[in-house]
Structure 1
Amino acid sequence: MTMTTEKKIIGRCPFCGGNVVKTCKGYRCENNMGEHPSCVLNINAILGNRKMADNEIAELLTNRSVLLDGFTSKEGKAFPTVLELADDGNINMQAVIGKCPHCGGEIRVGSRAFNCSNYGNQESPCSFAIWRNIGGHQVTLAEAKELCEKGITSNELEMYREDGSVYRKRLGVSPDKLQIVKI
């Protein structure tokens, strides 16, 4: 009787196309194992003092980036960030997602909004922000980047009224480039 080894496949490796499997220490491409590994993909299960979920790793493998909350600094301060899978297999934490449409500052990931880095600037403060929840819709990383780059979302997004009824609108940057409006 032969023993078969069952492996939990999380997704496809974006570098070599191999299966990415869950291991005791994290997630690894099947071609990153053995004596002569041919792939660099090896992701720790804990990043930024936060345990990664299988579905988050699957999204990272597919999109090469994922916006997540719940990371903790060495000082114990919680923060959200964008994890990016670099071409060398490293995972980079990226707080900046784009350029502010109003002042040209950096748009950074915040716990409740994507905020301009010039918010606290004494000489020329900027109040531009993209709330992460607009009308019951959780704004995605791709949508926030699209608003920064193009000034409008390409698709209508599902939102909800106070009475629970559903409606669809695109999001856009207001003419004065200070806020996000439903179009």
Structure 2
Amino acid sequence: METEKKIMGRCPLCGGNVVKTCKGYRCEHNIGEQPSCALNINAIIGNRKMEDNEIVRLLEERFLLLDGFASKEGKSFPTVIELTDDGTINMRPVIGKCPHCSGDMLVGSRAFNCSNYGNQQAPCTFSIWRNIGGHQVTLAEAKEICEKGMTASELEMYREDGTIYHKRLGLSPDKLQVIKI
């Protein structure tokens, strides 16, 4: 008697169903004697247990900004995980180029920061806070700011008294800070 399987979404490699297994998540075509698909996502990545809803989003979006990974030394860090076209998982701390100096923009626990922050010859202090006005800046929004100079749409933010307002986030004229537009 066959029991039901928990389907997480569609496989981006072959279109089959991705199912939850005892060790993670696999394409249904990567189970059995003669697998025809390579998709296999471990349940634990970077010393962090992946949640079912994160796998669903990863299968749809292919990039996911997550906190709570841990190095071998036990130091916690955030990163972007990427599901590549060949089905492998990459951890990428770089989200794009700094709009001020063209250095790499890195994911930090509280901000997206320019990799040239500590550069003795050409220091750069550009960063995008991950929380602006009570709004959690998404990976897509941070990329928009870096690539296009502002977010495509207005974002919901909150004042000290709790009232809601809407603004876009964009670059200051000198491209050294993010401002509300």
What secondary structure sits across from 1:6 in the alignment? Answer: coil
Q: CA deviation at 1:31?
A: 1.0
What secondary structure sits across from 2:99 in the alignment? Answer: coil
Q: Which amino acid letter does the alignment assign opposite residue 176 of structure 2?
A: L
2:139 matches 1:141: yes
For the residues of structure 2 that align with 1:5 and 1:32, how far apart are their CA atoms? 18
Match of 1:40 among 38, 49, 57: 38
Q: CA deviation at 1:4?
A: 3.8
Tell me the residue number matched to 2:155.
157
TM-score when normalising by structure 1: 0.97
For the residues of structure 1 that align with 2:7 and 2:87, how far apart are their CA atoms? 18
Q: Which amino acid letter does the alignment assign opposite residue 107 of structure 2?
A: V
Tell me the residue number matched to 1:91.
89
Tell me the residue number matched to 1:119.
117
1:149-173 Cα offsets, whole Å, 9 max, x none, are 0011001111111111111111001
Q: CA deviation at 1:25?
A: 0.1
Match of 1:56 among 48, 54, 57: 54
Structure 2: segments with no counterpart, 5+ residues = none
Q: Which amino acid letter does the alignment assign opposite residue 14 of structure 1?
A: P
Q: CA deviation at 1:147?
A: 0.6
Q: Which amino acid letter does the alignment assign opposite residue 131 of structure 1?
A: W
Q: Which amino acid letter does the alignment assign opposite residue 50 of structure 1?
A: R
1:133-152 Cα offsets, whole Å, 9 max, x none, are 01111111011111110011
Tell me the residue number matched to 1:80.
78
Structure 1: segments with no counterpart, 5+ residues = none
Q: Which amino acid letter does the alignment assign opposite residue 10 of structure 1?
A: M
Match of 1:170 among 165, 168, 171: 168
What secondary structure sits across from 1:145 in the alignment? Answer: helix
- Indicate the RMSD between aligned Cα atoms, in angstroms: 0.8
Q: Contact (CA 8 Å) 2:13, 2:86: kept in 1 or not?
A: no
Q: Percent identity?
A: 78
Q: Contact (CA 8 Å) 2:99, 2:175: kept in 1 or not?
A: yes
What secondary structure sits across from 1:34 in the alignment? Answer: coil
1:10-57 Cα offsets, whole Å, 9 max, x none, are 111111111111100000111111111111110000000000000111
Q: Contact (CA 8 Å) 2:7, 2:19: kept in 1 or not?
A: yes
Q: Which amino acid letter does the alignment assign opposite residue 21 of structure 1?
A: V
* Superposed structure 1 runs of 4+ greater than 2 Å apart: none
Number of residue pairs aligned between Structure 1 and Structure 2: 181
For the residues of structure 2 that align with 1:90 and 1:72, how far apart are their CA atoms? 19
What secondary structure sits across from 2:119 in the alignment? Answer: coil
2:135 matches 1:131: no
